[in-house]
Amino acid sequence: MATETRQDNGDGEAREPRLLVVRHHEGDGAGTWEQWLAEGGVRLDAVRAWEGEPLPERLTHDGLLVLGGAYLPDDDARAPWLPGTRALARQALGTGVPYFGICLGGQLLAHVAGGEVRGEHGTPEFGSVRLTLRPEAADDPLFHGLPAHPPAIENHVDAVTALPAGAHWLLSSADCPYQGFRVGAAAWGVQFHPEARAARIPAWNARRLARHGAPDPASLHAHALREAPEAEAAWRTVAHRFAALVAERRGAAVA
């Protein structure tokens, strides 16, 4: 786990807010969010879980970001770090530590909070897809005031099929109803990739895309590039708002 953070120096000056990031694959980092969270004053401590880097047993960070991966939330045989990741997500829910889950991370939040996730379910989504903000997003701390139909990069075949009881349903798409939701006051899950750059799409597996009836990487890339400015404006706003919540949590911890 990266530890490039300044600790309290003992004279009352608090360190900057710290966000624990759980990564599941080489190359699947925080993307644009690394910069955007840094703009909000947040430092990222990333765990390369697939390499065997240990997860902390206790969540002492000011926020938790769980990224995407080619697993289901309970795929413990292939990803033996998932039980520890679920435990951290439960701690975040229980203590109010801000949580943001992307793709697998969003499905994991739904799973631990009592929702349902199914593999190879529904219509797969790849490339830039238009989302729809639902009415409940109007007063959501992260998603309020965004454009009604922001574009976002998608890359999934698995999906949340039922939200946890009491969850706030925030975003949908034509082919995937549960694109974004909130559990409690400060835990968000999204199916899309607000951190992903269009520049990654040319490296996607063309055979996998063809198997699911999707366009080739070049076509998906060209479409995503056209929509990138609009997408980046929306998701930079969300990242900055999440950074503010993490900073607020840090401030409350040292008050």
- Going residue by residue through the chain, which has 255 residues, state the pLDDT in tens, using 9 for 90 and above: 443 333 233 333 458 999 999 999 988 899 999 999 999 999 999 999 999 999 999 999 999 999 999 999 999 999 999 999 999 999 999 999 999 999 999 999 999 999 999 999 999 999 999 999 999 999 999 999 999 999 999 999 999 999 999 999 999 999 999 999 999 999 999 999 999 999 999 999 999 999 999 999 999 999 999 999 999 999 999 999 999 999 999 987 765
Number of Cβ within a 10 Å radius of residue 77 = 8
Residue 180, φ and ψ in degrees, nearest 5: -160, 140
DSSP the chain: -----PPP-SSSPPPPPEEEEEE-STT---THHHHHHHHTTPEEEEEEGGGTPPPPSS--SSEEEE---SS-TT-TTT-TTHHHHHHHHHHHHHHT--EEEETHHHHHHHHHTT-EEETT-S--EEEEEEEEE-GGGGG-TTTTT--SS-EEEEEES-EEEEPPTT-EEEEEESS-S-SEEEETTTEEEESSBTT--GGGGGGS-HHHHHHTTPPPHHHHHHHHHHHHHHHHHHHHHHHHHHHHHHHHHHHHHH-
pLDDT recorded at residue 15? 82
Q: Which of 24, 61, 193, 221 is catalytic?
A: 193
Pick the catalytic residue: 125, 154, 195, 227? 195
Is 13 one of the annotated active-site residues of the chain? Answer: no
Q: Would you call 193 a catalytic residue per the annotation? A: yes
CB 65 within 8 A of CB 100: yes
Residue in 103, 111, 156, 227 annotated catalytic: 103
C-alpha distances in angstroms, 118 versus 44, 104, 197? Answer: 30, 11, 26
Please tell me the predicted confidence (pLDDT) of residue 28.
84
Identity at 161, one-letter amino acid code: T
Whole-number pLDDT of residue 252: 73
- Asked if 37 and 44 touch (Cβ cutoff 8 Å), the reply is yes
- What are the structural domains, with CATH classification, of the chain? 18-254 (3.40.50.880)
